[in-house]
Structure formats: structure tokens, C-alpha cells
Structure 1
């Protein structure tokens, strides 16, 4: 597991999608259910927007991080109906190391509602029984399975594919209280979510996830990650205070992630949905100069050059 301060790209994603408003707190149980309808719709609209902005690569990186990032990523996957993440979510559940993040993975699979996703929930619940490792996420899995079972038309071809003779043990289990919660949460996603349209640059989530191991980037000799959030926020404000910063770049909401020792050369992550690049490097030793860049390698190279000015 990687923590935000271990990696530049992960920190940029965490500052943009996980830390503002701490959405993960709403996704662990009944918290969303207790919101007033107006507040629920306001949150749903805001979260739909961020779920559309983030790219598959960013979601995959968040799924390699701590539980806060994982739950947030799973819910963004559910809100944008990215069912091509089903294989990676199954891989994470089968790893058995997810803890409370498993709630997000289970719900995302439930929200997809495909036969293969629901069979994954069934198998996950069975595995919990066989290994005597039952937890809240297994209750959610049973609730999701039963919720979709009730929605299927008995005797239809779809229902026949969904249920097998070996599933009788599931019918014998009482419906957990979470079934009402799952029904509400699925309704919330249907009401507020929007399916993400993939572009030509397709990332295969599981393959990309497996390739992430050991690839953390913290900086270089003359510069590195800014570990303190208060310091990062001050760098955000400082950059936006410069009158020469273009409006288009301001709209991309630069968020500081790394700097040299005296905070004169700073690396900021940008919102890629705005189209102004992904990174911006600024230097304030003699006035202010900055350059927006599309890839991290170029930004790292420029950080090295400007840190020695």
C-alpha cells in the first residue's frame, strides 16, 4: 500500500479527489442515508462532476493507496459506471487486505449489477464463510446479491444465468439490514451518477495496477514532496496570487505537491479535465515564471533545472 506522501502522482490525486470534503466518510455506512434530500442532491451533483473528471489511470492509482483513497475511488467508479474495473475490484477483494475499503469495492460491483459482478459477490460471501472471516463487507455482499435477485424476473434467461443450484445456501440466509441501505445507495447512483465515456487511450485497470508496485516517485536531490498540508495550501495561494497567471491555468486549480528547500521552485498538479496540461512548474526567484506540462517526466526534468537557478 502506498501513502500520499510516498508518491508525487498519488499526492496530486489525493489532494484533488480525496481530501476536499472527505467524501469517504459518507461512504462507510448509513451516512448518506441520513442526509436531507437537498443536501444529498447537492453532494451527488458535485461528486458526479469529480467522478467524470478523473481518468482511469488516476482511479487505479487511488486503488493502490490507503483505505480513504480506495473507498473514494470505488465510489467514483460506481458513480461513473466504469464496469471495466470489475476485474481489479475482484482482485482487491480476493487479496483479503482491504479492511473497510472492501465496502467500496463491494458496492461498486453491486452497482454494476452484471451477472459476473454478482457472482463475484456470491463467491466473496462464500469465501468469508469458509475461512470464518465474516465482516460488514460480507453483509454488504449478501445484501447486494439479494437486492439484485429480487429485481430479476423469475424464470427469465437472465435469472437463470444469475442463479445456480449451488446458491441455495444464500436463500437460507436471512436478509441483512444492509439490504435497505444497498437499495438506497443504488438508487442514489442511478439518480445522480453518469456513465463515463472512454476515449481512445484505454488503460486496462488490473494490468496497470499490477505494474504500479515499487514505482513511487518522491522527487530528487534538490527537491521533493512537501509533506505538510498547511504548507501546500500556502503554496497554492501564493501561486494564484501572482497577477501574471493565466485564467485558463487558474481554472485548472493548481495544487502544490513538491518543492525545493526554500519553496521557490514548486511543482503543482493540474485538473486534467480542464485541458491545460497535467503539471505546472513555477519559479519565483526573480519575479515569477511558470510552465505547464503534459507529462510528469518533463515536469521532473524542469524541476531539476529550475531548482538550481
Structure 2
């Protein structure tokens, strides 16, 4: 699923993935190449985003392409949202060349024998001679880190001479990720210690149920998903500049995701716990925002109903 395939995927991507091209910092050694101030700021922003993201938003990202999956997994790792453990176990087995990186970071961060067993099972099927590249060094590095924390030996059989790692990698040299992951965990621990610990009430069952049953909202006739990002940013900035500080929308971090082709009204996603969504009409002659006529939409069902009967 691509970000611009529906309103909800685009909203989550714009809020959590695109800012500062966050996903580009989550590939490997990028964090270690930042100076302390840059890294602290990046990790704080990541933790703050993870602390407000709903389980539904994260699940939608995990149904997307690799940038969405990678960012969601790191956010889940940062806030230790272990309710995603079972889903990660499934997603790991679905393949992909980049996504095992994020899942491995999260499972290593969760830190239990169950997480080690998930990585071990995955490596049994993927770390074989001739197997295509799927970032296998990240699950192995995660397993080695968990062994050091738990006093276990899950990774030993993969690392023995002529074992699975040497057969696949062609060398007994240890994966570089084994040195990187402890640093990533340290950065996350530092950020968590300096932040207010977020509390979440979702269960594994709720996460999996939403992931399995979620279907994107259909885009009604006369509405379209906004593209490109420059257009969306211009609309965001225009609304922000026109909105008084006393107005409800001012502190809701609205992000434009859709627009009516007939009247120019814009669908905005609001920050979690700020009301959900909003339709803000525009004057057809001047393009000015009609803030006094905006419509608050608290949930996806209200979006569907409103868009289908939207008055022009």
C-alpha cells in the first residue's frame, strides 16, 4: 500500500514518516554519524511522535510500503509497545528486503525470550545458503543482543563454523549490526529516561484484529487524495496562517490529505486526541478559508458519511 492510495495512509505518513525524511535516518549507522545535539533532537522527536501515535495509525503504516513499515517499527520500539510482538512475528515471515530491520530493532528492544524465539524461528527459514538478501544481519544482530541481555545462546548455532551465517554470508565475520544495535538501544534508553513514559492500553488481540480487518475508506466521487507534497504543505501553511490562536484548529496540527474537486473544501487529519478530522471549506471566489463553517469529524465512519453526502 502506497501513502497516497487513501486518506488514512497519507495522514499517518505525513504525520510520522515524511517530516525531516525521518525514514532515511533509520537504515543503519546514520544515527551514529550525527553529533550529540542532532541525535538527541532526532530521538526526542521520534519518541514524542511514538507517544501520541494510535495503535490504528501504526497498524496502517505496517500495511504500507517499506518506509512506512520501517518508521512504524522504530516508533513501536521507542515506546516498547509489546502489543505488536505477535504481529511482528507474522510480518517477519512475509518477507521484504528492508522491513526486517525495523522488526528486529523492536524485538531486541522488547527484550524477552519470546522475542528471541521469534527471531530464531525467522532465521531458521531465511539464513540458508543461497537465500536472497532480506537484511538477515539485523535479526541475527538482534538475537545476539538478546543473548547478551538474557544470558542465553539462541544465536550460537547460527554462528558456529560452517553454520548458517557462514554458509549464507560467506564468512565467519560477525555482522556489523551486532555493534550497531546496542548503540541504538542506548539512544532509545537515554531518550526514554528523559521523557514522560507513555501509557498504552491496546492488546495484541486488538492490534491483530484491526490489522487483519482494516479496509481503507473509499474515495467518494468528486473527492481526491491530494498530491504532491508541495501542494499539501502549501495548504497546511495557508490554513495555519489564517487560523487565530483561539480557534480549535490552531493547536490541532492539521495536515491536508484530500480535497473536493467541485467546491475546494479540504479534508484535514488532526493530531491524535485533537478531534480526528476536519473539513474546512474555502470561498469559491477568493480561496479564503471559511473557518466558521468547518466540520469536525471524530472518526472514520463520520468521514465516510460526510464525504458521501457532502454539500457543495
Regarding TM over 0.5, the answer is: yes
- Counterpart for residue 127 of structure 2: 129
Deviation at 1:136, TM superposition (A): 5.9
List aligned pairs for 1:1-309, cutoff 5 A: 2-96=1-95, 98-130=96-128, 132-133=130-131, 135=133, 137-153=135-151, 159=152, 163=153, 168-172=156-160, 174=172, 175-193=174-192, 196-199=198-201, 204-212=206-214, 215-243=215-243, 246-262=246-262, 264-272=264-272, 275-285=273-283, 288=290, 289-306=293-310, 308-309=311-312
Q: SS of the residue aligned with 1:71?
A: helix
Deviation at 1:237, TM superposition (A): 2.3
Deviations 1:105-126 (A, max 9, x none): 1111111111011111122222
Deviation at 1:292, TM superposition (A): 1.8
8 A Cα contact 1:8 1:225, kept in partner? yes
Q: SS of the residue aligned with 2:253?
A: coil
Deviations 1:30-60 (A, max 9, x none): 1111111121111111111001010111100
- Where structure 2 has 5 or more consecutive residues not aligned to the other structure, the ranges are 166-171
Task: Give the structure-1-normalised TM-score.
Answer: 0.86
8 A Cα contact 1:264 1:283, kept in partner? yes
- Counterpart for residue 169 of structure 2: none
Deviations 1:12-31 (A, max 9, x none): 11111111111111111111
Change in CA separation of 1:199 and 1:147 when aligned onto 2, cut-off 3 Å: closer
Q: Residues of 1 paired with 2:55 and 2:129: CA distance?
A: 33
Q: Residues of 1 paired with 2:18 and 2:66: CA distance?
A: 12
Change in CA separation of 1:200 and 1:4 when aligned onto 2, cut-off 3 Å: closer
Please say which of residues 241-250 and 60-69 is displaced more in the overlay: 241-250
Q: Residues of 1 paired with 2:138 and 2:66: CA distance?
A: 17
Please say which of residues 87-96 and 291-300 is displaced more in the overlay: 291-300
Deviation at 1:74, TM superposition (A): 0.2
Q: CA RMSD in A?
A: 2.3
Q: Residues of 2 paired with 1:86 and 1:169: CA distance?
A: 24
Deviation at 1:75, TM superposition (A): 0.1
Deviation at 1:190, TM superposition (A): 1.3
8 A Cα contact 2:222 2:262, kept in partner? no
Deviation at 1:204, TM superposition (A): 2.1
Q: SS of the residue aligned with 1:21?
A: helix
Task: Give the structure-2-normalised TM-score.
Answer: 0.85
Change in CA separation of 1:140 and 1:200 when aligned onto 2, cut-off 3 Å: closer
8 A Cα contact 1:252 1:276, kept in partner? yes
- Where structure 1 has 5 or more consecutive residues not aligned to the other structure, the ranges are 154-158
How many residue pairs were aligned? 292
Q: SS of the residue aligned with 2:185?
A: helix
Deviation at 1:188, TM superposition (A): 1.2
8 A Cα contact 2:112 2:150, kept in partner? no
- Counterpart for residue 156 of structure 1: none
